[in-house]
Structure formats: C-alpha cells, structure tokens
Amino acid sequence: MKDKNNNEKELPKLNTKEENEFKKLKLSIEHGATFFDKSNSNLPPEIEGQFLDYISNFENAFQNAKQITVYEKIGKPGFKPEGTLSDEETTIELERIEEIMHQNNISLDVLCDYENEDRLIYAFITEELFLSKIDEMNVPGMISHFTYEEFHQNHKYDLEQATEDFLKMFLDKKSKFYNEYHSEDALNHEELNNFRTLFKSLKMEFFDFKQIMFNEQNATVQFEIHFWAKIKGTDAKIYYSGDGSMTFEYEYGYWYVRNANLPIND
C-alpha cells in the first residue's frame, strides 16, 4: 500500500505558464473573468503571474468590501473648517491633508487652474470629498483616484479638449480612427470630408483659442489655426491659415460637435 504523502510527492509540478493558465481558469470560474488568447504575447510568464495574482486579490477584496467614506478611509484626521483659516494656514493644512490622503492611497487630481486654488481645493476635500463613499479594500498597490472636475465640471476645459481632439483626429490621415468613428460627427461633415480626401497628409502648424462662449445647452469655440495639406501624388503643399470655429451641443454630461468651420474656402 502506497503512502498518501508519497502519492502527493509524485504529482507533477506545474511550470509558470501552466500555473498562469490555472489562475486564469480559476478567475473565469469564480469571477467571470475573460482572457483573450495571445500566443505571441511578449509578456514574461512571471510578470503575467503577478498580474493575475493582483486581479485575484482585487476580486476577492471587492467581493467582501463594505462602503466607507474617504474620511474614514484616511483615519478621520482632525481638520479646521476652511472659513477659519488664513490663506497661509490654508496652504499648510492642504499640504497636510493631501499627505495623509497619499499615505492612505487616496489621490486627487486637479486638471485646471483656479483662483484661490488652495482654499477652493481644501474646502472641496473637507466638505465634499471626505463624504464620498468608496469600497473598503486593502489591495497592495491599489490607489483610489478622484478628479476635482468630475465633481465640478469645467466646461471651458472640456470644450477646449473636445475642440483639440476633433481637429487632431481630422488632420491625422495616418489613423483610421476619424473615418471609422467620427467622420459624421459634424452636421457639415460632407464638406469637411470632401476636403480631407483631396490630400495625402495634413499637419497643424499653429493653433490658439480666441473665444469660448457657452450656456447650458450650446457652445461656440473660436480659434486661429494654421495647417498645411500635401496634395496626393506630388510633393506640393497648400498652406491654410485663418480663423475657425466649432459649435457644440451639451447632452448627458458631454459636449458633442455640431459644426466645424475651418479656413479652407478662401
């Protein structure tokens, strides 16, 4: 009769790749994870194993997590109301609170510049962010990220980003992204696309915002733009420059392009 311990010792040991496949199977069964077969992946098996372990730890922690406030997460530190602090004290207190947040894996990004920014952000953290709910999870390396503008939308910033993103896509003829996803965004897309098809390549030389106007539903962005266009089949270039504008409509929290007017008709 063979000893049970001897039988266990005789079981073949899995190599790292086989262990990773077992981890994927376990994640699929227990958490519904889906993995795409990439036989040509250059990711070392050891790194892939660490990544799979992180996913497993995250999923296990998430299943057992309860909701707590950001203030509870960082240990309920003492703080003074914004209205009781001088400007200098506000800056000092903001740095202290941000350091406590950092030590507890809480990060706050501020995308734009604001007047009296230290006071604004300190008030936001202590009066709003502290009350926000997050999952109580202690996964090594995991950071909870917040962005100020997700709580207080900056329409000027969003319109600038939307304008620049659209123009970059329009001028980038090396990528198929514009044709596949955004070639009909603007109501005047036929005019724009007919112009675009005339050229082999387009390149922006200069861009600057002139004026941004918006209300609750509509917006107009005016700008100056200089770009050149290389004609198909030749090395000749045509230089376009002048004022342009874009109009947007606000729906579901986003600004959507409605018209794009470029200095291309002169």
Give pLDDT tens digits for 93-114.
999 999 999 999 999 999 999 9
Tokens representing 238 are 């045509």
Considering the domain architecture, whether residues 204 and 257 belong to the same structural domain is answered as yes
Q: Is residue 23 part of a domain?
A: no
- What's phi and psi for 243, nearest 5 deg? -90, 145
Amino acid at 79: F
Considering the domain architecture, whether residues 188 and 247 belong to the same structural domain is answered as yes
Q: Is residue 22 part of a domain?
A: no
pLDDT-based confidence at residue 35 (cuts at 50, 70, 90)? low
In whole angstroms, what is the distance from residue 63 CA to residue 139 CA? 12
What is the pLDDT, as a whole number, of residue 168? Answer: 97
Q: Is residue 193 part of a domain?
A: yes
The vertex-249 CA angle with 245 and 250, nearest 5°, equals 130
Within 8 A by CB and 6+ apart from 215, the residues are none
Considering the domain architecture, whether residues 201 and 140 belong to the same structural domain is answered as no
Considering the domain architecture, whether residues 162 and 142 belong to the same structural domain is answered as no
Considering the domain architecture, whether residues 139 and 179 belong to the same structural domain is answered as no
Q: Choose the final residue of a domain: 96, 126, 151.
A: 151
What's the pTM? 0.75
Considering the domain architecture, whether residues 159 and 186 belong to the same structural domain is answered as yes
In whole angstroms, what is the distance from residue 47 CA to residue 256 CA? 41
Q: Is residue 54 part of a domain?
A: no
Q: Mind listing the pLDDT tens digit for each residue in 46-104?
A: 776 666 666 666 566 556 668 899 999 999 999 999 999 999 999 999 999 999 999 99
Helix axes 45-63, 16-31, angle to 10 degrees: 20
Q: Is residue 175 part of a domain?
A: yes
For residue 239, pLDDT beyond 70: yes
pLDDT-based confidence at residue 165 (cuts at 50, 70, 90)? very high
% residues pLDDT > 90 (the chain): 69
Q: Which domain range does residue 186 map to?
A: 155-261
Burial state string for 110-131 with b = 16 or more CB within 10 A and e = fewer than 16: eeeeeeeebbbbbbbbbeebbe
Q: Mind listing the pLDDT tens digit for each residue in 124-151?
A: 999 999 999 998 876 677 789 999 999 9
User: Into how many domains does the chain fold?
Assistant: 2
Pairing of strands 237-251, 218-231: antiparallel
Q: Choose the final residue of a domain: 87, 117, 151.
A: 151
Considering the domain architecture, whether residues 169 and 254 belong to the same structural domain is answered as yes
* CATH code of the domain covering residue 193: 3.10.450.50
What is the pLDDT, as a whole number, of residue 59? Answer: 60
Q: Choose the final residue of a domain: 134, 151, 168.
A: 151
Considering the domain architecture, whether residues 136 and 222 belong to the same structural domain is answered as no
